[in-house]
Amino acid sequence: MLEKITNKIRNYLKPRLIDLYQLFKEIVIFIIGFVVFSILIQIGILYTLIKHLYRRDYSLTRQLRPIIRSATLAYDGLANAASGELLNDLLKPKIKYGKWHHTISAVTGINFLFGIDNKFRKLLDFVLGKNHCVDAVTDEMKCYYGKNN
C-alpha cells in the first residue's frame, strides 16, 4: 500500500520537476544572455559614435536609426511572447498571438490579410510606419497560415 502511494507521488512529481528544471535553465540562459548582449550593445553604440565622430562623417539618422529600429522589433517579439494570451482574449484573432518566433506586428498583419482588422493594427502602422504590419508578415507565414486556415 505504501509502495503504491510513493509510486503515485513519484509519477506525479517527476514531470513537474523536469518542467521546473527546464524553466531554471531558461532563466539562467536569459540572465547570461541579457548581460552579454547588454554589454555588446553598449560597446557597439559607443564604438559607432566614437568612430564616426573621430572621422567627422557622423550622421545621427544613418547610424542610430537601425539600432533603435532593431530594439523596437526585439521588444515587439518579446511583447508577443509575453502578452500573447492577453491579446488572444482581447482581440479574438483568427491567427493566435504568443509564438516566440513571431512579432505582434506580423500576427496583426496576417490577421489583417485574412480579413480581421482592428484598431491595434492601425496604431502599429501609425507608430512603426505605413503598412508595417503587412510588411512584417513573412512568406513562410503566408504559406503556412494560408494552407491551414
Evaluate if residue 85 carries a pLDDT over 90.
Answer: no
In the chain, where are the structural domains located?
1-58, 62-149
% of the chain beyond a pLDDT of 70: 96
**pLDDT (0 to 100) of residue 28:** 93
pLDDT band at 149 (very low <50, low <70, confident <90, very high): low
Q: Under 8 Å CB-to-CB from 85, ≥6 apart: which residues? A: 97, 98
Over residues 17-33, mean pLDDT: 91
| pLDDT tens-place string over residues 48-80 | 888 888 887 767 677 778 888 888 888 888 888
Query: Is residue 66 exposed (0-12), middle (13-18) or buried (19+ Cβ within 10 Å)?
Result: exposed
Look up the pTM and report it. Answer: 0.62
**pLDDT (0 to 100) of residue 22:** 92
Query: Is residue 104 exposed (0-12), middle (13-18) or buried (19+ Cβ within 10 Å)?
Result: buried
Evaluate if residue 1 carries a pLDDT over 80.
Answer: no
CA angle 45–49–50, rounded 5-degree value:
115
Evaluate if residue 100 carries a pLDDT over 70.
Answer: no
**pLDDT (0 to 100) of residue 104:** 86
CA 137/CA 121 separation, integer angstroms:
13
